[in-house]
Amino acid sequence: MGFRKIKNFFFGRPLETAALHHQRLPKWKALAVFSSDALSSVAYATQEILIPLSLVSLTATSWSLPICFAISTLLIVVSSSYWQTIRSYPKGGGAYTVTKDNLGTLPGLVSGAALLIDYVLTVAVSAAAGVEAITSAVPFLYEHRVLLGCLAILIVMMINLRGVKESGNVFAIPTYLFIFSFLSLILTGFFKLEFGILQPKAPIFHEVYPEISLYLLLKAFASGCAALTGIEAISNGVPAFKRPESQNARITLLWMVIILGGFFIGATTLAHLLALVPASEETTISQLGRSVFGGGIPYFTLQASTALILFLAANTSFADFPRVCSILANDRFLPRQLASLGDRLVFSKGILVLGLVSMGLIVLFQGTTHHLIPLYAIGVFLSFTLSQSGMVRHHWVVREPKWRLSIVFSALGALTTFVVLIVISVTKFTGGAWVVLALIPMMVVWFRSTREHYRKVAVQLAIHEDVDLKKKVKHVVVLPISGIHKGTLDAIKYAKSIAKDVRVVYVELDEAATERLKSTWGRLNTGIELVVLQSPYRSVIQPILDYIRSVDQEDKDDMLTVVIPEFVTARWWHSIYHNQTAFLIRTALMFEPNKVVTSVRYHLSR
């Protein structure tokens, strides 16, 4: 009872299935839930463009703005194609569903694996970037970044376990605070530049750009493409919107793209005009905030809201990762437990898996964003490419109104994201991208083996002939005891009620103790013979198992039941004072075919 109260306090009371439609989100809440990942990327995308350029020379950073415009163009293309996806899959397409339906199961599994990896990395990167925003303003916390990152993931995970509606309520305020703070940063920055309060150190466009290698330009472009992560989240979560779901989802997608594109271009332009250079212990956005606001409340509000949106960016993954897992589980490619809704009408098991794995990444990579980024965008661009390729075939087959225009957008999206995928794979391969490229086929093999397991289980459980349920089966009960007490007597009564052939066995470890037990047994007058098993090596479990197997060999048609008497302590920690023989016997018999194991429990009072 106490555990239930604690659970209800942290996660809320269980919700009825009928309340599911009340958990749907209006557009303004959905923007907070599904767009926090995409919006948060402006906090580090500009910095990721500048880092490889600044390693060559300060003048090379002048390429940041053309790269930003190229990425923004790509953003428009990709979001346009996902607009089509939402319209064609109003029940929630997502890359896995679209790819599997149109390109086949194997490409669908590749897309699903890429999505799941991307969502895990999104949580890890968001937490790490959020901690960096905090440590930029409060440097002495830098050495505690791993602990802070894990704590942030834990908090977001617990909020999501309370349900979609409640997470929307919690995350809406930080999301809109970030939008207001970042908009204030951009507007104030351009205002001060326009009226000479801030002096630009570089022109917006250069007549001559410094000559640098194509590889370096592509590397900077690939790093900046982190700004596109999270674009697909809304198409995955269409069923979470209020009716009409598809229309509301598309409007929310449009809001997200406008805000994301405006913030990304604005921040990169200001960083370029002020000639900011990335620093190891301060983010570019923090430098920009100090330059524009000069410290004080506006700066710290910016940093706090940036940290919050980065932490909450993980919420997009917590909303979509469990949903993709549930779809894969329904198709039997993942353990089917992941397909079940929890007490709060969310896929709680998927949420727990995501939280634990992403915390492991934070520990593994020491909470450093720059170390995680090379792994980051491959999964999302692979799923982009497969999804949009699937939409090309979908439009060609279904031929909805304006299908030719839809094919153009989807084909352009597939082509451009494929080019970006190749660029990212090549430029970041040695930096860690090879890990993701190796992990995706491994996950696909796991998916297929999971489905094969379920297929074999179904074949073995299927009934292919008539079964005579009226046929009587001889019943044999083996009842191992460690002594004679009230729990033992209850077990004997139960055993005699279900079978005539009951065999009580005792393992002898001490001759004197055995003689005392025989004497007590004789006085009970149970009518059952006591079988004493010898154990020269002082093992209790093995002689019992050997005896059970020997009984099983007597008649294969017998139903063999092992009745295990055990007492349950009043407090869970009292169990450490007692051996766990009953548990060990049950565990060992779990892998023995054609044997029924029954525990007869005697509950001790306080």
Domain membership flag for residue 589: yes
CA 600 from centre of chain: 39
**Structure confidence at residue 18 (pLDDT):** 47
Q: Which of 53-67, 426-440, 482-496 has the lowest mean pLDDT?
A: 426-440
Q: What is the rounded distance in angstroms from the CA atom of residue 120 to the CA atom of residue 361?
A: 9
Task: Name the strands in the sheet holding 475-481, side by side, starting at the edge strand that comes first in the sequence.
Answer: 530-534, 501-508, 475-481, 559-568, 595-603
CA dist 344 → 18, 171, 295, 312, 349 (Å): 12, 17, 42, 20, 12
CA distances from 486 to 9, 113, 229, 490 (A): 38, 54, 63, 6
Please report the beta strands in 270-355, taking only residues with DSSP state E, as ranges in sequence order.
none
Instruction: Tell me whether residue 532 is in a domain.
Output: yes
Q: How far apart are the first and last CA of the chain?
A: 16
Helix (H) / strand (E) containing 299: helix 296-330
What's the rounded Cα separation, in Å, for the pair 428 and 263? 26
Q: Is residue 468 part of a domain?
A: no
> For 83-111, what is the mean pLDDT?
84
Confidence of residue 107 (pLDDT cuts 50, 70, 90): very high
The confidence band for 62, taking pLDDT boundaries of 50, 70 and 90, is confident
Mean per-residue pLDDT over the chain, rounded? 82
**Whole-angstrom Cα distance, residue 91 to residue 245?**
8
Rg (CA), the chain: 31
Spatial CA neighbour of 203 closest among 211, 195, 193, 212: 193
State whether 389 and 488 are in the same domain.
no
**Partners of 241 in the beta sheet?**
25
State the pLDDT at residue 106. Answer: 93
Look at residue 20 and tell me if it is in a domain: no
Say yes or no to pLDDT of 31 above 80: yes
Confidence band, pLDDT 50/70/90 cuts, at residue 40: confident
Give whole-number Cα distances, 500 to 475, 476, 492, 496, 525, in Å: 7, 7, 12, 6, 16
pLDDT at 261: 92
Task: Name the residue with tokens 């709060």.
Answer: 344
- How confident is the model at residue 7, as a pLDDT? 53
pLDDT of residue 265: 93
Residue 583, both tokens: 């548990």
Lowest mean pLDDT of 148-152, 167-171, 260-264, 289-293, name the range: 167-171
CATH classification at residue 231 = 1.20.1740.10
Domain total in the chain:
2
Which band of pLDDT confidence, cut at 50, 70 and 90, is reported for residue 373? low
Q: Are residues 63 and 202 in the same domain?
A: yes
Provide the pairing of β-strand 475-481 with 559-568. parallel
Is 10's pLDDT higher than 60? Answer: no
User: In terms of domains, do 224 and 344 share one?
Assistant: yes
Same domain, 541 and 431: no
User: b/e string for 541-567 if b means 16 or more Cβ within 10 A?
Assistant: eebbbebbeebbeeeeebebbbbbbbb
What tokens were used for 280? 């190891």
Q: Are residues 427 and 480 in the same domain?
A: no
At residue 23, does pLDDT exceed 80?
Answer: no
DSSP string, 489-556: HHHHHHHHHH-SEEEEEEEES-HHHHHHHHHHHHHH--S-PEEEEE-TT--SHHHHHHHHHHHHHH-T
pLDDT of the residue at 183: 94
**Residue 597, helix vs strand vs coil:** strand
Top-confidence residue, 161 or 257: 257
Output phi, psi for 568, to 5 deg: -110, 125
CB 193 within 8 A of CB 375: no
Candidates 390, 387, 392, 384; CA nearest to 419 is: 384
The CATH number of residue 559's host domain is: 3.40.50.620
Angle at 123 between CA 219 and CA 5, to 5 degrees: 180
Q: Is the pLDDT of residue 556 over 60?
A: yes
Q: What is the enclosing helix (H) or strand (E) of 243?
A: none
**In terms of residue numbers, what domain contains 147?**
25-453
SS (H, E, C) 320-343: HHHHHHHHHHHCCCCCHHHHCCCC
Does 255 lie in the same domain as 363?
A: yes
User: Which DSSP string do the residues of 23-83 spell out, in sequence order?
Assistant: G-B-HHHHHHHHHHHHHHGGGTHHHHHHHHHHTT-SGGGGGHHHHHHHHHHHHHHHHHHHH
DSSP state of 128: H
- Report how far apart, in Å, the C-alpha atoms of 8 and of each of 276, 348, 352 are: 49, 14, 17
Place of tokens 């294969």: 556
| Under 8 Å between Cβ of 175 and 260 | no
Query: How many CB atoms neighbour CB 66 within 10 A?
Result: 15
Half-sphere exposure of 259 (CA within 13 A, CB side): 25
Same domain, 314 and 221: yes
Q: What is the pLDDT of residues 428-453, one digit of tens each?
A: 777 677 888 888 999 999 999 999 99
Does residue 356 contact residue 150 with C-beta atoms inside 8 Å?
no
Give per-residue pLDDT as tens, 310-325. Answer: 777 777 788 788 888 8
- Average pLDDT score over residue span 144-169: 78
Residues 409 and 515 in one domain: no
Tell me if 39 sits within 8 A of 309, measured CB to CB: yes
Residue 72 included in any domain? yes
Domain membership flag for residue 506: yes
Please check whether residues 429 and 480 belong to one and the same domain. Answer: no
Asked which of 418, 453, 488 is the last residue of a domain, the reply is 453
Instruction: Note every long-range contact of 547-553, with CB atoms under 8 Å and residues 24 or more positions apart, other chains counting.
Output: 547/478, 547/505, 548/478, 548/589, 548/592, 548/595, 549/592, 551/476, 551/478, 551/503, 552/594, 552/595
**Residue 441 and residue 545 in one domain:** no
The yes-or-no verdict on residue 1 having pLDDT over 50 is no
DSSP string, 163-203: -HHHHHHHHHHHHHHHHHHHHHHHHHHHHHHHTTSS--SS-
398 in any annotated domain:
yes
pLDDT band at 333; cut points 50, 70, 90: very high
Max intra-chain CA distance, the chain: 107
Asked if residue 462 belongs to a domain, the reply is no
pTM: 0.74
Which of 420, 453, 486 corresponds to the end of one domain?
Answer: 453
Q: Which amino acid is at 469?
A: L
Same domain, 200 and 344: yes
Whole-number Å distance between alpha carbons of 373 and 425: 12
Helix %, strand %, coil % of the chain (to 5): 70, 5, 20
Tokens matching residue 562: 């092992």
User: Tens digit of pLDDT for each residue in 509-545?
Assistant: 888 888 888 888 888 888 888 999 888 877 888 888 8
Whether residue 411 sits in one domain with residue 523: no
Residue 498, C-beta contacts closer than 8 angstroms, at least 6 positions apart:
475, 477, 561
